[in-house]
Amino acid sequence: MLNNLVGYKPSIGAWSTKGVVPACASLDCVTVFSHYFEEAMIVDRVARGIDEQDPWSKEFPVPKATVPNRIMLPNKLPQFYGPFADKYQEAWERTVKQIEHLGVKVDYVDTSFLLDAASLLYDGPMVAERWAALGEFVDEHPGVTFPVTEEVLRSGSATHHHAAAVYKAQHQLQAYKLQAKKLLENGVLILPTAGGTWTREQVRENPIETNSEMGRYTNHCNLLDMCAVAIPAGEADSNLPFGITIFGLAADEDLICGAANLIQLSRDSEETTLIAVCGLHMKGFLLEKQMKECRARFVREDKSAPVYQFIKLSLEPAKPGMIKKQDGSGGAIELEIWEMPLSEFGKFVTMIPSPLAIGKVELADGSEVPGFVCEAYAAEGAEDITKLGGWRRYHDTI
């Protein structure tokens, strides 16, 4: 979810749960984390199959990757949360653009019922199944269970979670399953794996709500008898991985595998170019949004070779310009290196106003990458800020 890993969750019963400490035995499902989707499939081929000693075991064939007829996305912007909510939203919006260019029909659908279904597990009587599995242990071993975990488990023993309430919830859930079956026929649904994350301190202060939010886009999965694969989808920010989850109906693992392969191949095969930026297109500045709109991702901080004059242009809003000097009067300028799909690069160039332009920028190591340069005439009457060494440093002085 947060560590650039693949997570594979087969159809319920496809892998034996014998030996697993139950949470909800009727819903439990063993999963695998791996660095690559192919590795998860190797584990699947070994783990899949009927276990005669597991009463929940079912026969499901080994999936064969098949591209779905449709990819479904939520018709409303997902809710993002936590201290990195804005970054997660930007990463999701970039991913949506990529999905729209896969060559598969995309439908925007109402997914609000998924949250309603998920609420039956933690906020409804079905949490009683957890108490049925573990309540005896909790009662017989006071003080052993982590306090927050015990609080959640004990909620399943509340008197209002009586047998009739459980059956009522099951009937509601069956209606949601029918809705999911109609929605996902011959297709897959894609959601963010997580809508954000939290600091440790935030989790300590509010452990139940923060953990519940982390499952906002996944808690419905087993309840609705779905299979799923979570895959990395770039970074929301530096050292902040982002991922998506592809959901399918039970026994439709062919489709989630096909969609995962398609998305990964698209990302791996897409031609890109590096771009050196030195001003308002850097992280945290006004025009960073143009980089995100063109599906660019931040790569690293860098410096130019010490051959550039750095000026503040007479534009509104204020912008810098880099002019290469041959007389040794220039300096090294702090830059950011971004990576952008070539399919977006032309559109990006058209958004750049004169006297700025895209040319070759010489980096400190002597290599050259496309990046922002400035026409020499703009230096006349402009403020020379070369000695500050970068736009971020200049911005800190005003």
Q: Quick one: DSSP state of residue 296?
A: -
Give the pLDDT of residue 27: 93
Average pLDDT, the chain: 93
The CATH number given to whatever domain includes residue 15 is 3.90.1300.10
> In this structure, is residue 297 part of a structural domain?
yes
Give every residue of the chain whose pLDDT is below 50, as ranges: none
What is the bridge-based pairing of β-strands 297-303 and 240-249?
Answer: unpaired
Last residue of a domain, one of 243, 269, 295: 269
Domain of residue 386, CATH code: 3.10.490.10
Inside any domain, residue 341: yes
92 and 202 both lie in a single domain: yes
Enumerate helices (H) and strands (E) in the chain, giving the number of each: 13, 15
Q: Are 244 and 95 in contact (CB under 8 A)?
A: yes
CA distance 74 to 107: 8
* Residues 190 and 96 occupy one common structural domain: yes
Are 118 and 261 in a shared domain?
yes
Residues 234, 170 share a domain: yes
Are 184 and 191 contacting, i.e. CB atoms less than 8 angstroms apart?
no
Candidates 286, 263, 354; CA nearest to 71 is: 263
Neighbours of 362 (CB within 10 A): 17
H or E segment at 82?
none
Residues 252, 189, single domain; the answer is yes
Give me the pLDDT at residue 380, please. 93
Count how many domains the chain has: 2
Q: Which residues pair with 189 in a beta bridge?
A: 72, 247
Rounded-to-integer distance, Cα 310 and Cα 321, Å? 6
- Which of 250, 269, 288 terminates a domain? The answer is 269
pTM for this entry: 0.74
Domain boundary among 207, 240, 269: 269
Residue 125 lies in a domain: yes
Output the six-digit token pair for 187.
């297709």
Going by C-alpha positions, the residue among 146, 110, 150 that lies closest to residue 134 is 150
Residues 244 and 310 in one domain: no
Q: Which residues pair with 323 in a beta bridge?
A: 309
Task: Please check whether residues 227 and 286 belong to one and the same domain.
Answer: no
One domain for residues 150 and 207 = yes
Full domain range(s) for residue 381 = 273-397
Q: Is residue 78 part of a domain?
A: yes
First to last CA, the chain: 40
Nearest to 256 by CA among 247, 244, 264: 247
Are 238 and 280 contained in the same domain?
A: no
What are the residues facing 60 on neighbouring strands?
none
Same domain as 294, residue 230:
no
CA 185 to chain CA centroid, nearest Å: 24
32/121 same-domain check: yes
Say if 1 falls within a structural domain: no
Q: Quick one: pLDDT at residue 2? A: 87
In whole angstroms, give the CA distance from residue 310 to residue 320: 7
Residue 225 CB neighbours (<10 A): 17
Residue 199 carries which DSSP code?
-
Helices 163-183 + 112-122 axis angle, to 10: 150
Instruction: Identify whether residues 118 and 99 lie together within a single domain.
Output: yes
